[in-house]
Amino acid sequence: MKLNRLLTAGILTLIPFSPALASEGLNSGDTAWIIVSTALVMMMTPAGLALFYGGLSRYKNLLNTYAMTLVAYCLASVVWVMWGYSLAFGPDKAGIIGGLGNAFLAGISVDSVSGTIPTYVFVLFQMTFACITVALVLGSIVDRMKFSSWIVFTVLWVTFIYAPIAHWVWGGGWMGDLGALDFAGGNVVHINAGVAGLVLSRMVGKRIGYGKEAMFPSSIALTALGAALLWFGWFGFNAGSQLAADGVAASAFLVTNTSAAMGALAWMFIEWKVNNKPTILGMASGVVSGLVAITPAAGFVNMPASLIIGGVAGLFGFYSVAVLKQKLGYDDSLDAFGVHGMCGIWGAIATGLFANPAITEGAKGLFYGNPKQLVIQIVSILATAIFTAIGTLIVGFITKLLTGGLRVEEESEVTGLDNTVHGERAFEIQLS
């Protein structure tokens, strides 16, 4: 107990004193935790995801993948504070959108409070979700999409696809009113990004040589490091989504780790069985699969359920990447749809099965006597997938018109985008 008090005091000393902390309804412990959670989630995009995706891309496109991840984070950050937050969390308009009443954060001050935390902290926390969601889409089109097209696509997609869905689920929209359970982003983040990635990959087309020549990752070591950083940051992603430092946040923290570990083990063992080798890439992919699947369920399920959710996610992710992609013939470069889309779907369904009212009051799934919840989850999955697919198709066409095409020139693709787009190389190797 004494140690816990000392740790709490240490964290609080890192936060500048503000008169707002004395405001009615504001809780300093909750505020401290969400500030830390925001920093954790922020790290997931320009560090964790950039390393994970960069290591998976080919050596000649490693820096381009980094650059597209970083610019997505920067663009989404700016769009969010200018109009994205208002569209997602502003006063509800017919359950569909939030409007522009809080554009440029109008009406929000240092004294504004959302629940028990400053509204500015809530804005920043939600901003990191918008950033990583659009960055996840990138995984489907690395090696071949124009940098300028990616910039335009990012701005349009965050505005017209991400913000409405975030409003539907978390901002007072129709999906939340329906009773859909999405604790930290199964629909909003993972199904959304996965489906968008699949659509965009089909629009851009397959990489030159896809299916005919080997396309080796540039660095499995970087990917493994990226997976570790994503795992670390995901604690803020999931436990922070409680928006309070309480028992539910602690439970979300616990089940997040358990599901990730089970996802890694399940992928490792099935890959070992099928291909006779347990790979680091497989374990890293299994970690992410387990993290994705537990995201919508984190604040609603207990630890035994997380073992099942993570284990199934590892198997499901492996099947989606190793079997389904080959059968359907699409070129999802880094398996954004296979891991995030498919495991996000499983996580949303699992929430409808395992939601436990003992964890969060009112959240009751099929196995606790409420089959209706499973139906609601399926409706939310279908609505998200359909809206995202059609919306991304429209945004993609608009981007194509504005930029003169989505894809780089053939010569640039063959040479590599690090050199042709950025004039840089990831590594300088001198041979003696």
Q: How much is the CA Rg of the chain, to the nearest whole Å? A: 21
Can you read off the two tokens belonging to residue 170?
């978390």
Distance in angstroms (rounded) separating the CA atoms of residues 184 and 240: 9
| 20 pLDDT more than 60 | no
For residues 290 and 308, the answer to whether their CB atoms sit within 8 Å is no
- Each residue's pLDDT tens digit, 329-353: 999 999 999 999 999 999 999 999 9
| 21 pLDDT more than 60 | no
Distance in angstroms (rounded) separating the CA atoms of residues 339 and 313: 9
In the chain, the percentage of residues whose pLDDT exceeds 70 is 94
Classify residue 24 as left (phi > 0), alpha (psi -120 to 50) or beta.
Answer: beta
Per the model's pLDDT, the better-predicted residue between 309 and 427 turns out to be 309
For residues 164 and 201, the answer to whether their CB atoms sit within 8 Å is no
8-state DSSP, 138: G
pTM of the model: 0.93
H or E stretch at 387: helix 371-403
| 13 pLDDT more than 60 | no
Among 36-50, 83-97, 171-185, 414-428, the least confident range = 414-428
Closest CA to 297 of 355, 212, 246: 355
**Quick check: helix, strand or coil at residue 376?**
helix
pLDDT at residue 304 in the model: 98
Query: Would you kindly state where each structural domain of the chain is located, as residue ranges?
Result: 28-416
Distance in angstroms (rounded) separating the CA atoms of residues 185 and 170: 9
Distance in angstroms (rounded) separating the CA atoms of residues 26 and 31: 8
Residue 211 pLDDT class (50, 70, 90 cuts): confident
pLDDT at residue 383 in the model: 98
Residue 427 pLDDT class (50, 70, 90 cuts): confident
Question: Computed from CA positions of residues 351, 355, 359, 361, in that sequence, does the dihedral angle turn out positive or negative?
Answer: positive
- Each residue's pLDDT tens digit, 351-401: 999 999 999 999 999 999 999 999 999 999 999 999 999 999 999 999 999
| 15 pLDDT more than 60 | no
- Each residue's pLDDT tens digit, 150-198: 999 999 999 999 999 999 999 999 999 999 999 999 999 999 999 999 9
| 421 pLDDT more than 70 | yes
Identify the burial level of 423 via C-beta atoms within 10 angstroms of its C-beta, where 0-12 means exposed, 13-18 middle and 19 or more buried. Answer: exposed
Cβ-based neighbour number of residue 134 at 10 Å: 27
N-to-C CA span, the chain = 60
CATH code: domain 28-416 is 1.10.3430.10
pLDDT at residue 22 in the model: 37
| 12 pLDDT more than 80 | no
| 416 pLDDT more than 50 | yes
